[in-house]
Structure 1
Amino acid sequence: MILKKKVFGSAMLAAAIMSAGTCTAMAAPQQENTAIEAESENSTQTAAGLALKITEGFQNADEQASIEKKEVEVVKASEEEPQDEWQNRLMANVEESLNVRTEASEESALAGKLRKGDVAEVTERGEEWSKITSGNVSGYVKNEFCVFGDDAHNYANENCTTNAKVLEGGLRLRAEASEEAQICDVAAQDDVLTVKKDVEAPEGWVAVSHGDGVAYVSSQYVEVSLATGTGITVEEEQAIIAKQKAEEEAKRAQEAAAQAQAAVQNAPAAASYDETTILAATIQLEAGNEPYEGQVAVGAVIMNRVRSGGYPNSISGVVYQAGQFSVSGRIAATAASGVKSSCMQAAQAAIGGMDNTGGALSFAPVSSGRGGLVIGNHSFY
């Protein structure tokens, strides 16, 4: 572009000079020599001045064109410089965890682990092993159990949740992607919402989980990111295990204390052998794989109903009451084929007045979410 301007400028300059000379020659024939010489000198100066201005004008144009070209080149360079942030990352393509070694050898010491969903920065990639850093752990991982770069990013999208962190308090969650839609809830600043990746939201909106359904939030008030984790050192893993063990022991101690507090000794009830066998069979069907305490608890609930006055006043009447025990259709067959000794013992203890439920009249699986006294896999209430 600059070369063309220079050629064009030179041609224009030559034409201007020739034009000025021609005009002078045509005006000169009837003038005296002195007048011609003066006019010629003036014309020459005029042409020279005109040529200088034209030259300066084109020089300025050339400089401006050069600046514009440089600006274009700078913009193009800046567009090519950014690199994919996942280019030097990897993820462990495993079901649970991948060992991180202190050296590139399976015989070397364990430095830590990358769990499923953890991402690591690759500091050195080899043919068989790669050196990585993730969280507080650094070491070597075997390449065959990893995915790198774009593959790692795709793996993260498929296997990790995507979160939307709320940037401002009072963010409205709406039933539809519209400012006019019904408000379902309000989120506080720094709340983390789970993005519904299987729901396509219109531009400017993000679909998030809300209860069992979906709600929409304005994208300008949330920061969306993949919920990836980082590796852990051996020491960190041991601390996590110790904490989990302590929490489990505390939970068991709390349950034992609650059971001890709830346990009462009621007056023994009269029951025939057949009634005792029906109770034992019901216990086996409801809690045959539970610990003994759980079996006694099921028997206690049935006996509490017998004593309550709000249910039938016999064991068979309670367990066969319509809509109460789903296993009632199998009780007779179980009783006929014989019941476990632990279930028979639990039935006798419940009939004898033992109640470790605190007077509960019902029970449900813990998985149901129903509150109450937890014994084994049941909540009693």
Structure 2
Amino acid sequence: MKRITKRFLFLLLAGIMMCSFFASHSEAFSGRDLAKGAKGDDVIELQARLQYIGFYHGEIDGNFGFGTYWALRNFQEQYGLPIDGIAGKSTQKKLAGITDYDEKYVKGQIAKGNQFTYYGGQSLESQVKKGSAPHKQSQTQMQAPPKYTDQDINLLANAVYGEARGEPYEGQVAVAAVILNRVEHPDFPDSIGGVIFQPGAFTAVADGQIWLTPNQRAKEAVIDAINGWDPSENAIYYFNPITATSKWIWSRPQIKKIGLHIFCE
């Protein structure tokens, strides 16, 4: 009888331990692919896991923006994964295999409105500032790739504001992208300043509007462009058909129209 009782207690204890293990090691992510623009619990987990191993340094908020996108691309590059900025199944599996995710801690801090981080190798208690609203880094500080200087970003913002301040946001990003595309094109100068100030290239330079003070929207458009968003689809020219005086520009193969601008090859 005692032997049966001991065996029963052993099996009961083993069962409790197994349940506890699986409860604390639930399957990572929900199975959906995550890309820029995604929101929700899966993105919270993605940001937390990327921060755990030092790739993501922004706020864990469940919004997949360019900060998350760039961190994910860097992770993919370092671990030999396809570099597409999308957290598909292979990326999620790799990330889950080398990180821990304390869902209760992370979501608990978000619910309390605490400023916190989730870096591996540090005690969780030391990473919480209770009741403190997260400090927002500027877009330029947090999300600009290191290859671009502050001067590059400011000059691009001036150009976008001078050329396209009345355009929809997508159109402003597209104008910034055209400048970046020219930098990479063999027919144009190989620097942002060289492209912008190339004689006759931009109306805003010719009429002095390049020196207007850009607004935050123009700066954000620049950040989106230098982080890889190209609504122009690799265009190297654009023009306003209402005001264009050059017959030559009409000969360029047209890609698309955004707002008042037509973007061309």
TM-score band w.r.t. shorter chain: 0.3 to 0.5
With structure 1 as the length reference, what TM-score do the two structures score? 0.28
- Structure showing greater relative contact order (alpha-carbon pairs closer than 8 Å, 6 or more residues apart): 2
Q: Which has the higher strand share?
A: 1
With structure 2 as the length reference, what TM-score do the two structures score? 0.39
